[in-house]
Structure 1
Amino acid sequence: MTLFDSRICALGEGTLWHPERRELFWFDVTGRRLLSRAPESGATREVALPEICSAAAWIDRKRLLIASETGLSVFDLESGRFVRRLADLEAENPATRSNDGRADPWGGFWIGTMGKSAEPGEGALYRYFAGELRRLYANLSIPNAVCFAPDRLLGYFADTERGLLFRVALDAQGWPAAEPEIFVDFSRHGLWPDGAVTMADGSLRVALWGAGAVVAVSPQGGIGARLSFPALHTTCPASGGPDYRTLFCSSATQGLSPAQIAEAPLSGALFAAEDSVPGKPEPAFRLDLCGDPR
C-alpha cells in the first residue's frame, strides 16, 4: 500500500480512472471538490463545485458525466465548468443527494440517491440511458457498490445501512431482467459495504466502511482476502494504472472522533496498492445516445 494523494477529504468518493487521460478522479463529496492526479506526470487538479457531487463517468478525453445532488451534467475538463444538464435527479427534493454511481457496459449510467442525513429508506437507484432516467429501486438507505460483471450478465449494488450486497440479472440492453437477490450479507460479519469495482476475472473488490479495508469477493459470493489501509472509513475502489493492477481507494474522515483521526491521520487521503488480479477499463458514458453526435 502507498499513499497516492495526501489531500484530506471529509468524504472521499467516486474514484474513477480515466483510461484515455491516464488520470485518477475522485470527489470530496461534502467538501464540494473534484480532485485528480495523473501518476505519470504528477499533475494534480482541484475544482470547487457549486453543489454536492459524488460520482462520474468519462465521456471522452475532454468531458465527464458528473452526478450531483440535483442532476446529471456534462463537465468540461478544460474549462472546469458544467456545460450541459442532461437530467434532473430528485432536484425537487432538497433533503436528498446523489451517492455512488458508475457507467454500465452499454453506455448508460447507474446512480444512487440518499438522504443527506442518511435517513432510512429515503434513497433510490436509477439508470440513465439514451436520454431516459428511470428509477429502478426505491426504499434504499445508502445505495453503494454499483458495478457490473465483465460478461454483462449481472449488475451489483449495495445498501450500506443494511450491510447487504445485491446482484441482479441484466437483459441485452442493460436493464434489470429479474428482481435483485442478496449476493453477500456482510452484516453477518459485522461489515458494511461501500463502493465496489469488478475485476477482469469477475471477482469484486468491496470497500468496507468502518473497517479500513477492501475485501475480495468471488464471483460465487465468497469473501476472500482483505487489503488493509491506514484509514478507518475506506469508501470507493477503482482499478487503473498501465496494466490495471493498481487498486486505488478513497477514504473519509466523516464521523470520526478526534482520537480516531489522531490514531489514523491519513484518514481522508487516497491510497494505491498492487492487486494480484487485473482490473479492467471503465466503459465510457455514451453521450451520443442522448442526441449529441459528438
Structure 2
Amino acid sequence: MTIQKMLELNCQLGESPVWDAGRSAICWVDISGQAIHEFNTVSGAQHTVLLGQPVGCIALCDNGDFLAALKDEVVRIDRLTGTMQSVVTGPERRLLTNRSNDGKCDARGRFWFGTKSFTDETGAGNLYCVADGICSLQIPRVTISNGIAWSLDNRTMYYIDTPTFKVVAYDYDLDTGSISNKRTVIEIAEEEGFPDGMTIDTEGMLWIAHWGGFQVARWNPSTGAKLSAIRLPVANVTSCVFGGATYEDLYITTARDDMRLDKDSIDNDEGCLFVARHCGFKGLPANRFNVKNTEN
C-alpha cells in the first residue's frame, strides 16, 4: 500500500483528523502549535486558524463551524475568521497542569472529549461529554484520554486510555448518552507502540494509531485480534480517519519527536499528514455537533 505525504506542513503534535465531505477537505489540529489546519483535496488550498492556546481536538458542527476543546473551554469557531463563541466553560479551568486531548461526537451530536496533564501524570485526566449546554464528567481518573469510537449500531462505545495498552468497551445508550458495563476488548503488546487515536470502518473494525509504533493497525474488537497494519515512515502516529469521495482514503496524523537533543536532525516527515489512498476499506461520515446542545 502506498503512503503519500499530503503537504509540506510539519505539526509539532498533529491530531484529531476530521473529513468534511461537503468541502472535500481534511481538517486536523496541531495541539502544541495551537492551530487548526484545513486542506482542500480538490483545489489544493490550505487554511490555518491560529488559536493562541493548545487545542486538543475538533469536530464539525451542523452549521458548518468547527467545535474545539481548548485549554479552558469548548468553543465554536468560524472557519474563515477564527472568531470564537464559548459553548461551555472547561471543567478543569483552574487546573493549570491539564489540557484537553482527543474527542469526537456521537450520533446524536453530543461532544465527548478528554483531558491529560502536561506531564502525563497518572490518573490526572478525565473524559467529559458536552450536551444541552452542560459539560458532565463521564470517566474519571484516566492518564491520557485518547481514542474514542462507537460501534455501527451505536450500542457500544470504544475508548483508549493510552498507557493502559488497552481498548475498553462500554454499553452505550444513544438516547441518554450514558455508559455502563466496562470491559476490555483489545490488549496491545508494548512492542506495537502506544494506542492513540482511532476510527472505525464499515465492517466494525477499529483502526488504531500507534504512538512510537510506526503504524496504524486494524483490530477486531470482537476477538481482540490484530488483523493488519499500515506502516508509516515516522514513529509517532497519532490518529486516523477515513475520507475522500467514497471514504476509502485513510488520512493519518503524526507528531515530531521532542525527545531528540539535536532539533536540526528532525526527520522532514515527522509531524506531517499522510494518506493511504484506496486502502481497501471504507469509513463513515463524521458525526457533527448539534448546536442545539449549547442550550440547557
Common fold by TM > 0.5? yes
The equivalent position to 1:86 in structure 2, one of 75, 85, 88, is 88
The equivalent position to 1:265 in structure 2, one of 237, 259, 268, is 268
User: Which segment drifts farther, 76-85 or 33-42?
Assistant: 76-85
Aligned twin of 1:152? 154
- Whether the 8 Å CA contact 1:205–1:215 is kept in 2: the answer is yes
Equivalent residue of 1:5, what SS? Answer: coil
Q: CA deviation at 1:218?
A: 1.6
Distance 1:60 1:208, change over 3 A: same
Q: Partner letter of residue 232 of structure 1?
A: A
User: Which segment drifts farther, 262-271 or 149-158?
Assistant: 262-271
- Give % identity: 24
Aligned twin of 2:280? 276
Q: CA deviation at 1:61?
A: 5.5
- 1:102-141 matches, cutoff 5 A: 102-141=104-143
- Whether the 8 Å CA contact 1:21–1:61 is kept in 2: the answer is no
Q: CA deviation at 1:256?
A: 4.1
Q: RMSD of the TM alignment (CA)?
A: 1.9
Cα distance in 2 between the residues matched to 1:36 and 1:23? 6
Q: CA deviation at 1:264?
A: 4.0
Q: CA deviation at 1:254?
A: 3.6
Q: Deviations over 1:150-194 (max 9, x none)?
A: 210111111111211111110132523423211111146553100
Number of residue equivalences: 292
Cα distance in 2 between the residues matched to 1:202 and 1:261? 42
- 1:9-20 matches, cutoff 5 A: 9-20=11-22
- Whether the 8 Å CA contact 2:29–2:58 is kept in 1: the answer is no
- 1:14-93 matches, cutoff 5 A: 14-60=16-62, 62-93=64-95
Q: Partner letter of residue 217 of structure 2?
A: V
Cα distance in 2 between the residues matched to 1:77 and 1:190? 37
Q: Partner letter of residue 283 of structure 1?
A: N
Equivalent residue of 2:23, what SS? Answer: coil
Q: CA deviation at 1:46?
A: 1.6
- 1:170-209 matches, cutoff 5 A: 170-173=172-175, 175-187=177-189, 190-209=192-211
Distance 1:84 1:231, change over 3 A: same
- Whether the 8 Å CA contact 2:21–2:245 is kept in 1: the answer is no
The equivalent position to 1:222 in structure 2, one of 201, 221, 225, is 225
Q: Deviations over 1:33-89 (max 9, x none)?
A: 111101001010122112110211111353111111111111011212212333323
Aligned twin of 1:287? 291
Please give the TM-score of this superposition, normalised by the length of structure 1.
0.93
- Whether the 8 Å CA contact 1:164–1:187 is kept in 2: the answer is no
Cα distance in 1 between the residues matched to 2:228 and 2:170? 24
Q: CA deviation at 1:3?
A: 0.6
Please give the TM-score of this superposition, normalised by the length of structure 2.
0.93
- Whether the 8 Å CA contact 2:73–2:86 is kept in 1: the answer is no
Q: CA deviation at 1:133?
A: 1.3
Equivalent residue of 2:209, what SS? Answer: strand
Equivalent residue of 1:7, what SS? Answer: coil
Question: Which ranges in structure 2 are unaligned for 5 or more consecutive residues?
Answer: none
Q: Partner letter of residue 246 of structure 1?
A: D
Cα distance in 2 between the residues matched to 1:188 and 1:72? 33
